Amino acid sequence: MRTFLLASAAAAFLAIPAPSPALAQGSPAMQRIEPSHLLANRLIDRDVYTTDRVEVGEVEDLVIDPSTGRIVTVVIEVERDLGLNTKYVAVPLDRLSIAAGERRVTLNMTKAELSGLPAIDYHD
């Protein structure tokens, strides 16, 4: 099964609210985004911190399974050697904690665990 790196598609999938009741005639046909949903453009480029409170990089992209429309992994750009060397890793979405109103994402692993993840071949 192929997965596609489509951050813009993720925004579309995340922005689709659950079906709403039928609108009365004459009512404007406007849908709203559920407050509990997260837009992809608010996740991409957020700083990523580990559980030991070390900033390790930022969210680079989202990997979507086109057969389900669900995000399967998140691509994280891990900065190494004072930002001169970059490694990309893929982690499951459920390993991230996102606090409302903050520009940071917490990755539920330590810096040592993150360092042990294999790099992925990522080209945006």
Residue span of the structural domain in which 73 resides? 40-116
**Residue 45, domain member (yes or no):** yes
For the segment 57-72, what is each residue's pLDDT rounded down to a tens digit? 999 999 999 999 999 9
When divided into structural domains, the chain yields a total of 1
**Residue 33, domain member (yes or no):** no
**Residue 29, domain member (yes or no):** no
Tokens read off for 82: 């004072």
Q: What is the CATH number of the domain that holds 45?
A: 2.30.30.240
Is the full-model pTM beyond 0.95?
Answer: no
Contact 69, 10 (CB under 8 A): no
Tokens read off for 24: 């009365």
CA dist 27 and 53 (Å) reads 49
The pLDDT > 90 percentage for the chain reads 43
Which residues, including other chains, have CB under 8 Å from residue 95's CB and lie 6 or more apart? 107, 108, 109
Average pLDDT value for residue range 15-21: 52
Instruction: Please say if the pLDDT value at position 80 is more than 90.
Output: no
For the segment 23-69, what is each residue's pLDDT rounded down to a tens digit? 556 566 788 888 777 788 888 999 999 998 899 999 999 999 999 99
CA dist 59 and 105 (Å) reads 8
